[in-house]
Structures are given as structure tokens and as C-alpha cells.
Amino acid sequence: MLLTLILTTALLVRFGTADFAHALTFPGRFTGAVLLAVAFTTLLGAAGVLDHWIRHSFSYSGLVALIGAFAALLTNVLVLVETVRDGDSRWYPALFAALSAGSAWAVLTVWRTRVPIPAPKRVAAAVIVSSVIAVANFSYQNLYVPYQRKTEPLITLSVGRAVPSKDGKAFSVPVDIAIQNHGSVGFYVLGTEFHAMGLRVPLSPEDRLRQQWRVDTEQWSKSSVVNPLSRREVYQPGELVEAKPWMPIGQWIESSGTFATRLVVQLPMNTPYDQVAFYATASLARKDRLVLQPPLQFVGNSWSGDKTSAQVKQRGLDSLIYRARVHENNALDEYTRDARFVTVYWNFGPKGVHVTTTVARKGEENRVLPLAEQLELVSRYGLVDLVAGPHVRTLWDIKSQR
């Protein structure tokens, strides 16, 4: 019994101190305080065991030992459930299974000594109420977590007036991009990209047939851009004109924060495109779901031929790869789960640009996840993908100035 109670106390102090000092949310810190309170109770239970069987100096030491053993049993079972459900370690579930069994044996052993219980109804009510509070708090923090309501910043993209060059051979189009975080949670910036797609849109001399409309709709499933059905306009796949990141990766945008930038796209006056479509995207992660350990650094590309590039399987696209270590938002997951890394792929090619992210153990970055695991991953780490665009600019007016 002493070994069970002392080991339980040590582990709860370890988890509780880490959560109370470093958890990313108030419920997490409250859980840390609860764990420390339970650790104090189990420590008193160990002292009660010593006095109940050896010293006999306190008449209610048996009751103290019983309460401490019951607190250890309840907490060990709850932690066991969480480590089995969500942890990667095999050692921790085995340890807490043993501590749960030891705590149950301690409760039965102390109970069989027929310890005197003053005001048993009040004691029972206090134990029941405290147990309900502990179970509710643990479930709230580790199983359901309703405080993690959906929130995300907003990207705005606006295109300015095209300006011709002095020699009349080129023109530039200013593009303003801003991200505004109106929520109560900050976000890490894992990756951003801005790109412009040139579009040729010739006009048919006659009304297009219904069969041609059907062919247009068949292309919708083959592209991320859905061109409208048109009686005269003949839309063709866009071609990449320009692409670049628009915000430093690994930085963050705090609650009520704003970041704005201006980019300029330049084209020759005799460009073959009729329109230019502008896009801006950002891949973010909530700061209350993970800790991003800096730096989020470049680790390779898809064409170098090394081990890193061999893991990238983006058909028809080249990729720049960035990676950083992430830490869990609570101590229990941090200790019982394997190390995770966020990997960011900045993918580009003639038909477009996009950023993808994943959080996985080292070596599993490119494992294809079932839909359920993808949703769980997005929820656990608060991954958010923001998109602005397409913002289409017609070029006929500026080309006519040639």
C-alpha cells in the first residue's frame, strides 16, 4: 500500500506541477491544481497507512488511509483510461494498471479493518461530490474538451489599379493581403503562399452547344478551380504566373492581431492572358493546442535525390520541406505520447501552388491517414487552412494602352 500511494503521489506531482505551471489553457492549469490536490491526499493516505498499522497515534488514521487509497484508485483509473486511449507509451499504461490494481487492493484492505467513520453520510457525500468533480474535470480536459470551439482568422485580398511602365512594355498590379485574428486564441503561422494564375478566355463566335457545357462540367472534378458555364466564353486551365510566401513561417499572430503586406505582380504588355486570378492562403495552428519549438526550418526539397526528397510524393509538383518539433498542450500527453513533428510542404508547379501540413512521428510524415484520423489530427492540434481568392482581374483595359 505504501509503495502504491507513494508512487501515485510522485507521478501526480510530476504531471500536476507541469500542467499547473505550463498548460496552455485554464482548464489545463485547473487540472494541474486538481492533480496536486490529489497528490497531497494520497501522501496523507500513506501517512495514515503508517499510523493505522504501526504507530496508532491518531484515531482516524484508518479513515485518512481509506480516503487516500480511494483518491489514488480513482485518479489512477482515469489516467489509465487516457493513456490507453490516447498515448503511445506501453510503459505508462502498464504502470497505471498496476497502480490501479494496487489502489483497489489498498481500498479493500483498509475497508476490511472496519475503520471508524464519523458522520458516515457526510463523509460519503463529500467523497461522492469530490469524485464527480474530479471525473468531470478530467473528462472535460482530456476527453471532450468543449472549450476548444472553432475559431480562425480572416484573410482579405484586394487588387489595386494596374500601372504601366514608362516605356509601355510592361505593367504592374499591386495586391494587398491582410490577415486579421478577431478570436481569443493566437495562431502559429506554419506556411503561407500567394500566387497569380494567368487565364486565357477566348470568345466563341457562336453560341456554345449544350454538349460543350457538359464537357466543361466534367473538368470541375479535375481541377481546384471551377470555371463557370458560359454561352460564349471558352475557359482554359490557368497557368502559374508568380508565387511567393507572404508572411514569415514559424511566427504567430496573436489574438486581435493583424498582419498586412503588399505584393506587386509584373507582366509584359503583350501577355497572352486575358485575365489574372490572384490567390492567398495560409496554414495555421492554434497556440492553445500545441507548442511549436523553434525553429521551423528548411530541411530539403523534392528534387535533390536525398532521403527527404524520396519521402515526398506530390505528383506533378515540386516541394520545399520545412520541419519543427511540437509539444503537446498538457503534461499527460507530453509524457505518454511519442515526439511529434510538424512538416510543412510548400508545393508548386505550372498549374498552381499550395501549402500542406501534417503532424506526425518522425518517419511517418507521408503516411496516408484515414478520414477519421485526419479529423482527429486537425482537432487535436488546431490546424486551420485559410483561403482568399480567386480575385480575378481583367487585363483588356491595360493591354489596350500598348
pLDDT at residue 224, as a whole number: 67
**Confidence at residue 262, expressed as pLDDT on a 0 to 100 scale:** 96
- State phi, psi for 349 to the nearest 5 degrees: -175, 180
* pLDDT < 50 regions, the chain: 146-147
Max Cα distance, the chain (Å): 104
What gap in Å lies between CA 108 and CA 346, rounded to an integer?
A: 59
Nearest Cα to 13, choosing from 27, 33, 296, 29? 33
Burial class (CB in 10 A: 0-12, 13-18, 19+), 228: exposed
Neighbours of 376 (CB within 10 A): 13
Phi, psi for 150 (deg, rounded to 5): -70, 130
What confidence score (pLDDT) does residue 146 get?
Answer: 47
pLDDT at 149: 59
